[in-house]
A = this chain, B = another copy of it.
Amino acid sequence: MSNGLKSSKERVEFLKKFIKENDADAFFINYLPHVFYLSGFTGSSGYLILTRNRSYFFTDFRYKIQSKKEVEKFYEIKIIKKFDEIFDIFKNKKKKVKLLFEKENLSYDTYSNLRKKKFLKVKPVSSPVYKIRMFKNKEEIEKIKKAQRKAEEVLKKVVESLKPGKTKELDLASEIEYLFKKDGFDISFPTLVASGRNSALPHAKPRNVVIKNNTVLLIDMGSVYKGYHSDMTRTFWVGNNPPDWFKKIYRITLDAVLKAEEAIYEGKDAKEIDAIARNYIKEKGYGEKFGHGLGHGVGIEVHENPSISPLGKEKLRKGMVFTIEPGIYLETKGGVRIEDLVYIDKNGKANVITRFTKEMIKI
């Protein structure tokens, strides 16, 4: 599994085995990222039912033409008018159909409605899709790289055109997203641009304020290429003379990134990597100022497994793609976060996807 399941077909075959192993008849998938992962469909309304020998895709009128184009050919496409029609395919079975569902993704409401259907026996399972999608194949890593390269190209461009005392946070954020969209890339998440003390808010929203001279500038951004996300944060000093406090926390954050990346190796616990960065920042006296996890998986969603945090449960494996993003946030001064995207390559080591320099840049 460590190389990632190559095609939708292979992924579906894996789930059909899972159905058998669970002594069930079918699997209902209602979570859009999983619908995309298993069928290729990118619209906002789609459902799958996999049985031991058939594969069904359901959508509504709005996606009639799009689904014909996008959905893998081994699916039977059905256009429905209301949600309940999905389960009509089982109505005439002689025996109750044992239907698995992803317990993470079905609402209590839908669950209790399905339970009322006499021809169904619904059974919650911890979704195996979350597990298999952690392991990326070559093509998936290439897509993530392409999304990341675009983000780097755009970051370089907007940083070069920045005019301290004139450019606003919102100008930068909107320009970044414009440059993604114009070339057909989607936006991984709303771009964060935080200057001055706002950089101490790990999830600051861009404001209608000018980026001043002699201040911190933190940018957290990502694009999406063919469904695959990227994620990168860089922190800059606007001006020629960064103060000592900034140089100090920048150096510590950067060293925390480097130490974590160096320690990454197949078989290690994800939380062990988190601890390396966390303990280092703590030793340096800023433990309280780094309150979030070290990183998260990236792929068909911008936040996915594995979690590289004190709560992380996974062991690192070949083909995993995740961020390393420690930060130090000083409420009254500003913050620094440096975020790389890495994957574990065939040698079991961290391969850093991000090429944008991590050295401190003065704008």
A60 at interface (Cβ–Cβ under 8 A)?
yes
For chain A, which range describes its interface: under 10, 10 to 19, 20 to 34, or 35 or more residues?
Answer: 35 or more
Binary contact readout A289-312 vs B (1 if CB under 8 angstroms, 0 otherwise): 001100000000000000000110
Besides A44-B203, A66-B203, A109-B126, 7 more A-B contacts (Cβ < 8 Å) are A61-B202, A62-B201, A62-B292, A81-B311, A103-B109, A105-B107, A107-B108
Chain B residues lying within 8 Å of A170, measured Cβ to Cβ, are: 181-184
CB closest residue in chain B, given A122: B108
Q: Answer yes or no: A65 CB below 8 A from chain B CBs.
A: yes
Q: Is A99 an interface residue (CB 8 A)?
A: no
Task: Please tell me which stretch of A18-26, A172-180, A255-263, A277-285 contacts chain B, meaning at least 4 of its Cβ atoms lie within 8 angstroms of it.
Answer: A172-180
The answer, yes or no, to whether A2 is at the interface (CB within 8 Å) is: no
Could you list which residues of chain A lie within 8 angstroms of chain B, going by C-beta atoms?
A: 42-44, 60-66, 81-82, 101, 103-109, 111-112, 124, 126, 170-171, 173-175, 177-178, 180-184, 186, 190, 200-205, 207-208, 291-292, 310-311, 331
Q: List 24 A-B contacts (CB under 8 A).
A: A43-B203, A60-B292, A62-B202, A62-B203, A62-B292, A63-B202, A66-B201, A66-B203, A101-B108, A106-B108, A107-B108, A111-B111, A171-B182, A173-B181, A174-B177, A174-B181, A175-B178, A177-B177, A177-B178, A177-B181, A178-B181, A183-B208, A184-B207, A184-B208
Q: How far is the CA of A207 from the CA of B66 in the complex (A)?
A: 13
Complex alpha-carbon distance, A175 and B174, angstroms? 10
CB distance from A131 to the nearest CB of B (A): 15
CA of A181 to CA of B185, assembled, Å? 17
Min C-beta distance of A233 to chain B, whole Å: 13
CA distance A66 to B310 in the complex (A): 23
Instruction: Find out whether the CB atom of B292 lies under 8 angstroms from the CB atom of A82.
Output: no
Point out the residue from B82, B126, B201 that lies within 8 Å of A311, measured CB to CB.
Answer: B82
Instruction: Please indicate the chain B residues that have their CB under 8 angstroms from the CB of A104 in the complex.
Output: 107, 109
Q: How far is the CA of A112 from the CA of B107 in the complex (A)?
A: 11
Q: Which residue of B lies closest to A126 (CB)?
A: B109
For the complex formed, measure the closest distance between the CB of A147 and the CB atoms of chain B, giving whole angstroms.
Answer: 16
Select the residue from A62, A64, A108, A201 with max chain B CB neighbours within 10 A.
A108
Within the complex, the shortest CB–CB distance from A222 to chain B, in Å, comes to 14
Residue on B with the closest CB to A310?
Answer: B81
Kindly state the separation between the CA atoms of A60 and B303 in the bound complex, as whole angstroms.
16
Task: Contact check, A291 vs B181: say whether CB atoms are below 8 A apart.
Answer: no
Complex contact B109–A65 (CB within 8 A) = no
Residue of B nearest to A45 (CB): B203
Task: Provide the residues of chain B in CB contact with A108, threshold 8 Å.
Answer: 101, 103, 106-108, 111, 124
CB of A201 within 8 A of CB of B65, answer yes
Closest to A105 in B: B107
